[in-house]
Chain A
Amino acid sequence: MKIFGVRLPGMSSLILWGLLWELVGRTGFSFFLPPLSEVIATLYEIIGTAAFQKALFETAYAFLAGVFFAVVIGIPVGILMGKSRLIDELLLPWVNIFLSAPLTALVPVLMVLFGFGMKAIVITTTLFAIWIIILNARAGVQGINRSLVEMARSFGARPWDAFTKVYFWAALPEILGGVRIGVIRAVKGVIIGQLLISIVGFGALFELYSANFLMAHFWAVLIVLFALAFTLAEFLAWLERKVAYYAAAR
């Protein structure tokens, strides 16, 4: 965006919104909203504490493990669904149901099945992320240009070569798009898991701070979480743009 001929860097508007937050906070409008400067000061204060770092570690661990399983299971399943009519017919209804289902309602069932520990949280995270990854990998494989498939066949590609040298790469833009959205959903999954299943990680901090009306602490943790999720999503979007020219060429 340009203002008075000066080119503003991306997301300059955040400064404006930050200022607004500061002003509203200073009017003492609500205990719920302390000034931004106070939140940032609190952030500095708690970021080095053992409690915060333990929460960060627990959340990161559950998140990464959940995303790992979603990717490692989701991409091959999606590719298989895209290539095999039978597997597609069998699995597609379930994938669509789980994609649109309010998964939060399933969390109590997961607690019964997998206990109150880390395992249930990781599974919740995976369940939030995996469906869109499957669907996108499937769409990517189905969208491969027919003549690329024919090209591989006519030059004598064996199935494994066709898969590793052509199909995977041709579907990569959609696969990455699915992973990006899956990662964003995994953030929801991990926090919901930590709030509902066992009060650990950032979930525990949210619970603790809001129950004790420590609003500056609450906002500080929220800012950290939002920033982490946003950075991750932006990184994946950047990766996606790097391979976007594939899509144009198909």
Chain B
Amino acid sequence: MAMPQTDLSLVETAGAAPQMAVRVRGVSKTYGSVEALRNLSLDFPRGQLTSLLGPSGCGKTTLLKIIAGLLEPTAGEVEVNGHPVTGPGPDRAFVFQDFALLPWATVLRNVAFGLELRGVARSEREAIAEKYIAKVGLSGFEKSYPHELSGGMRQRVGLARALAVDAEVLLMDEPFSAVDEQTRRKFQEDLLELVAQERKTFIFVTHSIEEAVYVSDQIAILLPRPSRVSEIIRPEGLRTKDVANIRRDSEYLDIVDRIWASLRSYVE
């Protein structure tokens, strides 16, 4: 808790408004008598990856779903590119923890499904889908069904579906938590490459400290009951280093230690 709320407001004023793709303003969310989020404000810089990190029950997924427009905040508002969020919209795409693929549809149709719902003609949407299937490394699996793929490959389908609709903001809800450790590491490396290439704004929910430090431009640490942003960390030095060496970099290890020190008292 080296940088409490006061520093957060510094970050807000320092960053010029158009550089923020998503702004969360005083958002609260209560479920009956349970307060999940209280007066939470946070900015997400354009073209960068921001992680929401915190122990389970800290409301990070709730915040992500409010940004997605899937949940309505009890108070406060969310802006995407200056426009207030009233529901799901084409400027945001969601990657689900459990993939949320249509089990009865091929990889090709799943990846094209977002475009299908938007009424894009079949030949056009399939051409776009094929491009993104290749991009996530699934060429040759277009005709496969989700149950024929491994967990890691299914999440690549989910990622390709989100990329195919070409939204400016990608919302990822613990996307790698249901895949095995090796696949997870490969995903993290690929994600860094994707952020560099795609010029999109990524909002990434995770409960893994190492994962957050490895992939993020900005880490917002959320503390529970009720949820608030306790600290914002920007591991800037790491982004210029070679991905292969990050995990033994002293800055990386220091940040991981520092986050653990502030989170450990909240873990039962």
**A and B are partners in one complex rather than unrelated chains:** yes
| Nearest CB in chain A to that of B87: its residue | A153
Known pairs A145-B98, A150-B70, A245-B103; A155 contacts B147 (CB<8 A): no
Task: For A250, list chain B residues within 8 Å (CB).
Answer: 103
Structural contact, B94 and A150, CB atoms closer than 8 A: yes
Interchain CB contact under 8 A, A145 and B100: yes
Pairwise interchain contact B88-A156, C-beta atoms closer than 8 A: yes
Interface residues of B: mostly helix, strand, loop or mixed?
loop
Q: A150-B100, A243-B104, A249-B103 are in contact. Are A156 and B94 (CB under 8 A)?
A: no
* Complex alpha-carbon distance, A152 and B161, angstroms: 12
Smallest CB separation, A189 vs chain B (Å):
32
Interface size class for chain B?
20 to 34
Distance (whole angstroms) from the CB of B158 to the closest CB of chain A: 9
Decide yes or no whether B90 CB sits under 8 A from chain A.
yes
Interface contact B89-A156, CB-CB below 8 Å: yes
Contact A156 B118 (CB under 8 A): yes
> Using Cβ atoms and an 8 Å threshold, which residues of chain A touch B70?
150, 153-154
Binary contact track A167-182/B, C-beta < 8 Å → 1, others 0: 0010010000000000
> Which one of B93, B98, B101, B145 contacts A155 once the chains associate, using CB atoms below 8 Å?
B93
Total number of A residues with any Cβ neighbor in B under 8 Å: 23
A246 vs B103: C-alpha distance when bound (angstroms): 6
> Inside 8 A of A153's CB, which chain B residues have their CB?
70, 88
Chain A minimum-CB-distance residue to B115: A155
B113 on interface, CB distance cutoff 8 Å: yes
- Flag whether B114 is at the interface (Cβ < 8 A): yes
Asked whether any CB of chain B lies closer than 8 Å to the CB of A222, the reply is: no
What distance in Å separates the Cβ of A149 from its nearest Cβ neighbour in chain B?
A: 9
Please tell me if A55 contacts chain B, counting CB pairs below 8 Å.
no
Question: When the two chains form their complex, are residues B117 and A157 in contact, meaning their CB atoms are under 8 A apart?
Answer: yes
| B226 on the A face (CB < 8 A) | no
> Interface code B106-124, partner A: CB below 8 Å = 1, 0 otherwise?
0000000110111000000
Complex alpha-carbon distance, A169 and B70, angstroms = 22
Q: Is the CB of B100 within 8 A of A151?
A: yes
Chain A contacts of B88 at CB under 8 A? 153-156
CB distance from B47 to the nearest CB of A (A): 22
**A166 and B98 form a contact (CB under 8 A):** no
**A161 within 8 Å of B by Cβ?**
yes
A155–B97 alpha-carbon span in the complex (Å): 16
Can you give 15 A-B contacts (C-beta < 8 A)?
Answer: A148-B100, A150-B65, A151-B100, A153-B70, A153-B88, A154-B70, A154-B94, A155-B88, A155-B118, A155-B161, A156-B89, A245-B103, A246-B104, A248-B103, A250-B103
Chain A residues with CB under 8 Å of chain B are: 145, 147-148, 150-158, 161, 165-166, 169, 172, 243, 245-246, 248-250
Shortest 3 CB-CB contacts between residues of A and residues of B: A249-B103, A151-B100, A147-B100
Given contacts A154-B69, A154-B70, 19 further A-B contacts (CB under 8 A): A145-B98, A147-B96, A147-B98, A148-B100, A148-B102, A152-B117, A154-B68, A154-B92, A154-B94, A155-B94, A155-B118, A156-B117, A156-B118, A169-B104, A245-B145, A248-B103, A249-B146, A249-B147, A250-B103
